[in-house]
Chain A
């Protein structure tokens, strides 16, 4: 199997353009598992883990995180999203966090991808590039199904971008182990006080990352009353109502990791706690 080690993004886009069999590898924490299990045998690999352009984080008004940024890097450097930081901490083991990248999460597009609910709640934009040019895709349009997305074979994910949303945000993940576990259900909540916007996104509760629109509107109403900028706790009733609305947005199934009933239940618990938690952050 041929491995092309790309020097920069242009080199990588050319390499995948000329070789139809080529697949991209960055941290390899998803692809190598597939290869080792014999589920995939790429004809050629284009390694993008040494491409410096993909490894930067910039925060000039808008946040831009390069696709090659690892979870360890996201924990060490401030990408301006507490929720993304919390999600990064929940990823795998230290070794996985050292290798795995946010671009890999976006590329694999598993409904259980830990960073994805955060990107959804932040309403991030995914930037992809190929020899044909650059495209910017809103996260809401990115995932098309479980492990399916709008990336063309020759496109490289270069970055995720979003408007800085302030401190009121959090990420939670349920797994039947206290670390190194695939999400049974996860939730990201972003309250962007300056834009008067609430983003709620759910992981492992449907074929793609789901948004909870009614819950978002409800929470916005609660915050209209409480004051968006204030650090004030909503009532328990409001939190419970919010939790119920979040749970109703899920399309959970029974699988080897958990039951649909449990997923719905913990979504309501996570959501209620998340709202209480972020409302008092400032």
Chain B
């Protein structure tokens, strides 16, 4: 039975245009940093220049005298002692007597003009007693390390024991790996506008990934009941995990409440580097054992993640790194120790790939090492061990509803190779190839000299949705109504559109489920229940699922009404004299909590992808040009194929960045490159064409079978690119990003610690 006489356009499976697409390209989309209210004040933050220090005194007298300054707040002025933090409330709203990272907030100012607020920050006199920084996470875990927080420097410690953890094998490969700190580098820096309300509360317009989680941290810090704090999603200019944590939310609200004036806070690029969390830097110590025929016998690994000064989501990142440490392979025996440490580095938290990225770089390098030791083709070795439905990962959880990973690998290997042949040396004085397309690009470094091409493969996986017993829920309200111009549907959720396309996904699901073309998606806010975070590749599954469930209820109500009135279902105008509205709370299947050996069904489902990279390397300069990336990814169902391809390409760009250029450079806790001048992101001359193979193997629990697609492109693209560089150069390259020095000089990264893979890093010995 259908509702509409003609098929609706823009439903599930079509590349429906996204409503925010054209305004963004034309520069007309209102981002949070564009928020403006007549009479608003400008907020600013004073931050610590030292990574580790005691605060002896803060003197704001001179700063208060600066014209236009309305209020200056330090920790003494805070209404509560509540701390904030995503999974552990361990971070003070303003530093309490001690700073633990360079960039920690000390005081906040509201002034008539942004300049005045900045001048006031400069005029605040802070007396510090400088303490030595604790920059090395392995040293921080040691028995003699001074504690940065009550309870010591271990943020979380996950042990995975599977099968016989001490199993032995004929062929063994070992390696130490390093992943440097990557920044999410969303193009829209943090911004929000807090408006005091008549009831003594506050409304915050904010670019965030998760309105309700913010609310849960903001309200207690303000000393207000949740009802007096309302959040409305403002235009988000990218997120990638960096907007899961509270940055300026509490500060803006405090200033608005203190001044009874609207206050806008908006970070510049440099402050953005200090204001938000980054991807966890990691040290990984691995050992793989296999039979001579290539069958994996065991994996042992120790993974140390640098959590920085505050916990943020470190515990979940540690768990992910542990659970996915062996990759998408059948590994009957494993011992993995994954530990997150407090240091005095900038806090680390969520970023696309979330723990799976760090592990994948290491285990895929190990798989290539093993292939070399066995003299096997790397794709054949991987395919031989790749998981399929029914196989268990090292947490004993079986894979379900997935394309066999061996198929993804074989399909990816069969995708067309780049057309360009390997560059020729200089011929007759004329450049044999456009130098723009060669390593060094616009630098005109090679016309073919020194070029060698390499190809590399990698596969990766992670979970979708939240894991380990978290009550993961999304609320949706769908209303079907009659207007003067026809029938339309309205959808309300709190799901944050961060660029990934959830607005369009909701529209498409409603169009298909209710057969109505006009679908209005209302602005997300906290007047409806939580949608959970736009992270963990989960919004299509969760909010898409909630919207679909709400549509089904609306449809059932409509059918009931039609039956009661003796009318046909397509007599919508008559049936909808009263609108039909239904709200649902939608949950995925429950997951099990972590246990001592992490042997359980801790995750909802898994996402798999394979990548093949082709890279030209200039052996002389150590510069690279990624020529092509090909990928086969199990997407379940491409609700919007164009948007899916966009996610794959964007995720690969971010994976490429980590492979060859993106690094927050730290020295003794100081960020040395807090700008887009020196934190390099791939340009169009760095990003190659991507060949996408969307494999649609539906998952039974997901709406239309659609799995999350955002993270897998970032997970295995990095190791595939590095494998290609290794193939071209023969260098070890055990660290990302690969630096030109590593290629030219064959530099190998060493932590300076001896750690037996699988052992407790607290027992590490100096190498």
- List chain A positions with a Cβ less than 8 A from chain B: 36-38, 86, 89-90, 93, 170-184, 186, 231, 256-259, 261-262, 265-266, 269-270, 273, 276-277, 280-282
Cβ 8 A contact of B443, one of A37, A173, A277, A282: A173
| CB–CB A171/B444 < 8 A | yes
| CB–CB A269/B686 < 8 A | no
| CB–CB B741/A261 < 8 A | yes
| CB–CB A172/B620 < 8 A | no
| CB–CB A174/B623 < 8 A | yes
Known: A177-B683, A269-B450. A262 touches B740 (CB 8 A): yes
Binding-face segment, B154-162, B173-181, B459-467, B674-682: B674-682
Closest 3 CB pairs of A and B: A178-B441, A280-B429, A173-B443
Known: A173-B443, A174-B445, A177-B680. A256 touches B672 (CB 8 A): yes
| CB–CB B445/A177 < 8 A | no
| CB–CB B449/A273 < 8 A | yes
Q: Which residues of A contact B445 (CB under 8 A)?
A: 172-174, 270, 273
Can you report 13 A-B residue pairs in the complex whose CB atoms are below 8 A from each other?
A171-B444, A172-B445, A173-B445, A174-B443, A178-B442, A178-B625, A183-B443, A231-B429, A258-B740, A261-B741, A265-B744, A266-B744, A273-B620
Taking the complex as formed, is B40 at the interface, i.e. its CB lies under 8 A from any CB of chain A? no
| CB–CB B439/A178 < 8 A | yes
| CB–CB B741/A174 < 8 A | no
| CB–CB A262/B686 < 8 A | no
| CB–CB A178/B444 < 8 A | no
The SS class assigned to the B binding surface is loop
Cβ 8 A contact of A179, one of B442, B446, B740: B442
Taking the complex as formed, is B685 at the interface, i.e. its CB lies under 8 A from any CB of chain A? yes
Q: Which residues of B contact A277 (CB under 8 A)?
A: 426, 429, 447
Bound Cα distance A89, B444 (Å)? 9
Known: A182-B677, A256-B672. A172 touches B740 (CB 8 A): no
Q: Which residues of A contact B622 (CB under 8 A)?
A: 262, 266
Taking the complex as formed, is B270 at the interface, i.e. its CB lies under 8 A from any CB of chain A? yes
Q: In angstroms, how far is the closest chain B Cβ from the Cβ of A151?
A: 24
Q: Which residues of A contact B741 (CB under 8 A)?
A: 258-259, 261-262
Taking the complex as formed, is B661 at the interface, i.e. its CB lies under 8 A from any CB of chain A? yes
Measured CB to CB, the nearest residue on chain B to A85 is B444
Q: Which residues of B contact A262 (CB under 8 A)?
A: 622, 740-741, 744-745
Taking the complex as formed, is B523 at the interface, i.e. its CB lies under 8 A from any CB of chain A? no
Known: A174-B621, A174-B623, A269-B450. A89 touches B661 (CB 8 A): no
Measured CB to CB, the nearest residue on chain A to B686 is A178
| CB–CB A90/B621 < 8 A | no
| CB–CB B443/A178 < 8 A | yes
Bound Cα distance A280, B740 (Å)? 29
Known: A262-B622, A276-B426, A277-B426. A172 touches B678 (CB 8 A): no
Known: A177-B683, A179-B441. 4 other contacts (CB 8 A): A178-B440, A179-B442, A273-B620, A280-B426
Cβ 8 A contact of B621, one of A36, A266, A276: A266
Bound Cα distance A178, B665 (Å)? 20
Q: Which residues of B contact A179 (CB under 8 A)?
A: 436, 441-442, 683-686
Q: In angstroms, how far is the closest chain A Cβ from the Cβ of B293?
A: 42
Q: In angstroms, how far is the closest chain B Cβ from the Cβ of A266?
A: 5
| CB–CB A261/B661 < 8 A | no
Cβ 8 A contact of A38, one of B118, B672, B680, B682: B118
Measured CB to CB, the nearest residue on chain B to A262 is B741
Q: Which residues of B contact A276 (CB under 8 A)?
A: 426, 449
Q: In angstroms, how far is the closest chain A Cβ from the Cβ of B659?
A: 12
Cβ 8 A contact of A177, one of B673, B686, B739: B686
Q: Which residues of A contact B270 (CB under 8 A)?
A: 37
Measured CB to CB, the nearest residue on chain A to B687 is A178
| CB–CB B444/A86 < 8 A | yes
Measured CB to CB, the nearest residue on chain A to B681 is A177
Q: Which residues of B contact A93 (CB under 8 A)?
A: 683
Known: A258-B740, A277-B426. A180 touches B683 (CB 8 A): yes
Bound Cα distance A265, B450 (Å)? 14
Q: In angstroms, how far is the closest chain B Cβ from the Cβ of A29?
A: 12
Q: Which residues of A contact B678 (CB under 8 A)?
A: 182, 256-257
| CB–CB B685/A173 < 8 A | no
Known: A177-B680, A262-B622, A266-B621. A273 touches B446 (CB 8 A): yes
Measured CB to CB, the nearest residue on chain B to A88 is B442
Measured CB to CB, the nearest residue on chain B to A182 is B677
> 1/0 per residue B421-460: CB within 8 Å of A?
0000010110000001001111111110110000000000
| CB–CB B680/A181 < 8 A | yes
Within 8 A of A (CB), among B635-661: 660-661
Q: Which residues of B contact A173 (CB under 8 A)?
A: 440, 442-445
Bound Cα distance A138, B440 (Å)? 31
- Which one of A90, A180, A184, A270 has the highest number of Cβ atoms from chain B below 10 Å of its Cβ? A180
Bound Cα distance A231, B446 (Å)? 19
| CB–CB B621/A178 < 8 A | no
| CB–CB B661/A172 < 8 A | no
Known: A262-B744, A280-B429. A177 touches B444 (CB 8 A): no
Measured CB to CB, the nearest residue on chain A to B657 is A177
Q: In angstroms, how far is the closest chain A Cβ from the Cβ of B434?
A: 11
Bound Cα distance A277, B665 (Å)? 36
Q: In angstroms, how far is the closest chain A Cβ from the Cβ of B712?
A: 25
Q: In angstroms, how far is the closest chain B Cβ from the Cβ of A173?
A: 4
| CB–CB B444/A176 < 8 A | no
Known: A179-B686, A256-B672, A269-B621. A90 touches B443 (CB 8 A): yes
Bound Cα distance A280, B426 (Å)? 10
Bound Cα distance A256, B511 (Å)? 52
Q: Which residues of B contact A261 (CB under 8 A)?
A: 741, 745
Q: Which residues of B contact A281 (CB under 8 A)?
A: 429
Bound Cα distance A180, B685 (Å)? 9
| CB–CB B118/A256 < 8 A | no
- Which one of B443, B678, B744 has the highest number of Cβ atoms from chain A below 10 Å of its Cβ? B443
Q: Which residues of B contact A174 (CB under 8 A)?
A: 440, 443, 445, 621, 623, 740
Q: In angstroms, how far is the closest chain B Cβ from the Cβ of A48?
A: 25
Q: In angstroms, how far is the closest chain A Cβ from the Cβ of B183?
A: 15
Bound Cα distance A281, B225 (Å)? 76
Q: Which residues of A contact B621 (CB under 8 A)?
A: 174, 266, 269-270
Q: Which residues of B contact A90 (CB under 8 A)?
A: 442-444
| CB–CB A269/B740 < 8 A | no
Bound Cα distance A258, B436 (Å)? 22
Bound Cα distance A231, B430 (Å)? 12
Measured CB to CB, the nearest residue on chain B to A91 is B442
| CB–CB A89/B673 < 8 A | no
Q: Which residues of B contact A181 (CB under 8 A)?
A: 443, 680
Bound Cα distance A257, B679 (Å)? 10
Bound Cα distance A258, B744 (Å)? 13
Bound Cα distance A178, B440 (Å)? 5
Q: Which residues of B contact A269 (CB under 8 A)?
A: 450, 620-621
> 1/0 per residue B737-757: CB within 8 Å of A?
001110011000000000000
Q: Which residues of B contact A175 (CB under 8 A)?
A: 440, 443
> 1/0 per residue B299-337: CB within 8 Å of A?
000000000000000000000000000000000000000
Bound Cα distance A277, B445 (Å)? 11
- Which one of B439, B442, B621 has the highest number of Cβ atoms from chain A below 10 Å of its Cβ? B442
Bound Cα distance A167, B439 (Å)? 24
Bound Cα distance A177, B657 (Å)? 10
Bound Cα distance A277, B450 (Å)? 14
Bound Cα distance A280, B680 (Å)? 35
Known: A256-B672, A259-B741. A176 touches B680 (CB 8 A): yes
Bound Cα distance A269, B740 (Å)? 13
Q: In angstroms, how far is the closest chain B Cβ from the Cβ of A168?
A: 10
- Which one of A178, A258, A273 has the highest number of Cβ atoms from chain B below 10 Å of its Cβ? A178
Q: Which residues of B contact A231 (CB under 8 A)?
A: 429
> 1/0 per residue B678-722: CB within 8 Å of A?
101011111000000000000000000000000000000000000
Measured CB to CB, the nearest residue on chain A to B429 is A280
Q: In angstroms, how far is the closest chain A Cβ from the Cβ of B124?
A: 16
Q: Which residues of A contact B446 (CB under 8 A)?
A: 273
